[in-house]
Structure 1
């Protein structure tokens, strides 16, 4: 490795495993190196073998968990975590474990690890408040989350930018908003330019200024946030355009037979653009007694990576799109991987949802591999959708969303691809218009339940019910129930959005 000979290092680690086949540290290291060589299947196989060995040492178990996350092996992660006695670990190990488990929705285990970490720290230590606050927001405990974030923002210079951004996602009265605006502006003057701290604070400033109706200043803050965030990302719009073109050129895949494996829950995929209402739709569906909301995972992306033997840190990349044309593409492997995850996630329910919006990229494979799957396509007004993307701070999920031109091109590519899938697979995709859903939830609910093969046993529950975790950008809104006044926000900024609106309108013509 020091000499830069990665294939040689992989071979040497392989010889080590020949001498001691069950040596988990070697399995973990070799799997990571194999991923660097883009040998996904071999790496995954080693990762699963390491998990099967159930490492008992907390540090080694933590490294195994980190490795398994590369393959979205959430069920195996759960087994590894439950097999280890973590009680003797230090606060750093517990905190690191919580940080690995929370993003994959293992909230109970993450909370337990966080409890253990906090018990080992001084009472005035604020380093873990951000993680605790995020978990409380996911669980719907907004008041507790707000209190924790205010403590963090006041006590920690390094954690304050993200804390103030999270605070800005929650409602505030005019006086409180003004107080937060002043604090954000002071911090913006002090942070180094061009980093994530500036991004978080500029988005927080935009949110608070928008909330009090100061739209010109709010727009200036949004422009600043988007400019800095875009500069931190590697995104090639032309490459994304080629991905769309390659997907639209795919043939209609077929499988020889799936009858022997048609057991387990009905998978329902909720797809669309981010910020189109997918969280609202899933939460409504989960009001049905036979449905469990699976939330957002990358299980489908992992299944596609397994089938194409290609790893990407993104949902999908150009190399993965190219490999979909390989004659040896194994749809059966995709089917087994997705259904294995769905059976675990369903916890005995007859139907399980998966609502990662960008799964629309995978529908050409999914619809062939899973004839029993239902696909709900959430559609929302183009300008409402795109502007909501523009003013949302994502991680790396939507790198196209920080520039009006790139956002418009991505949206148009998505619409063309969804039209293509609907024509290629007639009757397999149900379009659900956001505006119709919020105006007539019962009528649309009846239509959706019928499409999903679910009985109508009373009205679907409202989204403001207690319980259930929400970990998307809608977490501050969706628990407030169905809101009918969310359209047209972009009109406050209409004169600034001409590049976006002009491109969308030109394509419509």
Structure 2
């Protein structure tokens, strides 16, 4: 084990894995071997990592670091109730472990427990006033709750004390739209001229500068900063593997298979799946729907994607997934539905409709149809160029590497469009197309059609979605607290001279 730890520090991970398995061959539940294997598995196979970490924590339940890492792993896959349980335990075992309080604050925030999140970050700050995770975390928690002025105070203090300076600038400029040049812009540009900043800091500062310049209508300058920021990212998205995955899904979920499985799954009408490309209006749609007293938003649930991965749907290969789906029994489909509903119940009360607004569930419409034959599906769509530009200039997090390059982004959008066309062809009348531009031009009419699709009676509260309390935990959190505005329609024309690789890649999908 000492040798394994030394090799892990040296980055010789395959040797570390081999040593840990040798230890486990002699001592089946050696806690440190299990823990190290769990840490190695994170980012490669999160579910397997959780299995190893859970076994380690079971062997040494009073080890605060095992509890912390297990809680982080659950949080990473988006399953917050177990994350909170293990992170709370870590805090109890080692009350001065700042990282545990920060991770607990983050898990509470993502689980829509805003006030609990603030308490956890407050405890972290009591232990270390300058801890970067605590200072940016409490600001994000306040933003999620709509307490923008308090968040700005923390962020400005971070900048003054140079604690997570670049990240704080990036968050700060997202709090409002600028109509005149703010003093922050000169400061951000000055920081970008500092050769001592890291690549990660330059990335955040370029995004911050781009956001301000975009607000001011200085579009060419803004796009230059966005292009520079994107150049810092590793462009490793495999578009060929993406095409093969879409081919496999289209081949698998044909009319014959779907007809044969009409009686599968659970007849519950509670789940509502809002899906589409990121930045296509999914958060707006969720806010409108969850303004209805009989509907509740659950946020971006990862459960469906994790279930699909568990039965073989991987980016590199879909053979196991295809085999599992073709051989699935009625009882197995019902077990999958029960598992999903149990998870969904953790995020919502007994509302008659619960909205899961994970955009990338557009890949899993066939699985949705199989396990929930009566569930509503809402497809958010938007002008292809506008949608892609919004993805490109938004600082999308882990899992969106297709958005780092204009050409790849356009090609990816074509695959999304091809797959959605297939779903609409094989599942007629199951999918409601909620076009962003229709919502902008006829808010009440489109909102009424949306609520009608949910099978709910109309209520006027759905027109004042921006008055709702509670947290908003996505990049759209500022926008969805405002009434609907039209400035995002055909916004791409401001950047036309600089986005030709995107337009060419979109081909006939580009409405020029």
Which category describes the TM-score, using the shorter chain as reference length?
0.7 to 0.9
Distance 1:50 1:344, change over 3 A: farther
* 1:270 Cα deviation after fit: 0.6
In structure 1, the residue matched to 2:100 is 93
Distance 1:44 1:467, change over 3 A: same
Q: Is the 8 A contact 1:165 1:200 kept in 2?
A: yes
1:382-430, Cα deviation, whole Å (9 max, x unpaired): 1211111121111223212232211111111111110101111112111
Q: Which of 486, 491, 494 pairs up with 1:492? A: 494
TM-score by length of structure 2 reads: 0.85
In structure 2, the residue matched to 1:296 is 300
* 1:93 Cα deviation after fit: 3.1
Is 1:318 aligned to 2:316, yes or no? yes
1:324-357, Cα deviation, whole Å (9 max, x unpaired): 2124566445323322211222222221111111
Q: Is the 8 A contact 1:244 1:413 kept in 2?
A: yes
Aligned residue-pair number:
491
Distance 1:81 1:337, change over 3 A: same
Distance 2:336 2:483 in 1: 36
Distance 1:185 1:288 in 2: 44
Matches within 5 A, 1:337-376: 337-376=339-378
Matches within 5 A, 1:85-484: 86=92, 89-90=95-96, 91-103=98-110, 105-122=112-129, 128-156=134-162, 159-171=164-176, 173=178, 177-191=181-195, 195-229=199-233, 232-252=234-254, 253=257, 261-262=266-267, 266-308=270-312, 317-319=315-317, 321-327=318-324, 328=327, 331-484=333-486
* 1:507 Cα deviation after fit: 5.0
Distance 1:28 1:336 in 2: 31
SS of the residue corresponding to residue 489 of structure 2 reads coil
Distance 1:441 1:53, change over 3 A: farther
SS of the residue corresponding to residue 395 of structure 1 reads coil
Structure 1 stretch displaced more, 454-463 or 130-139:
454-463
Distance 2:21 2:456 in 1: 50
Structure 1 stretch displaced more, 291-300 or 442-451:
442-451
- Alignment RMSD (CA, Å): 3.2
* 1:75 Cα deviation after fit: 2.8
* 1:33 Cα deviation after fit: 6.0
* 1:50 Cα deviation after fit: 7.2
Q: Is the 8 A contact 1:191 1:197 kept in 2?
A: no
Distance 1:257 1:8, change over 3 A: farther
Distance 2:169 2:224 in 1: 18
Distance 1:61 1:5 in 2: 22
Q: Is the 8 A contact 2:380 2:433 kept in 1?
A: yes
Q: Is the 8 A contact 1:152 1:159 kept in 2?
A: yes
Distance 1:17 1:160, change over 3 A: same
Q: Is the 8 A contact 1:376 1:431 kept in 2?
A: yes
In structure 1, the residue matched to 2:17 is 6
